Amino acid sequence: MGATSVSWQDRGRCRDLDPDLFFPPVEAESTEQRHAREGAAKAVCASCPVQQECLSWALSNRERLGVWGGLTERERQLLTANRRRATRVMAAG
């Protein structure tokens, strides 16, 4: 992947932060810990100038882990499923 294809990452608010904020730890975390970590990550994303580019990249590359563009793994899975469902409805309709 060339540098120009990910140059949005250079403008991300997360670029100088600890990646552990955005990705689950290797060891188990409690539900409360996960919600706190994800909430803090989402707060960073909320004011990020490249939030949409980040989310688009994560969806296009099927990024499985972490908070990307303000969405968790589960939220991205639901978004993708809803988009597929909408596409099928439009095609059938």
Digit-coded pLDDT (tens) for 31-55: 999 999 999 999 999 999 999 999 9
Q: How many structural domains does the chain have? A: 1
pLDDT of residue 87: 72
On the 0-12 / 13-18 / 19+ scale of CB atoms within 10 A, 22 is: buried
Report residue 46 as tokens.
């909320």
Evaluate the CA torsion angle 49, 38, 20, 60 in order and state its sign: negative
- Cα separation, 22 vs 14, in Å, equals 9
* Domain limits for position 8: 3-92
- Cα separation, 65 vs 77, in Å, equals 11
The average confidence (pLDDT) of the chain is 90
pLDDT at 5 over 80: no
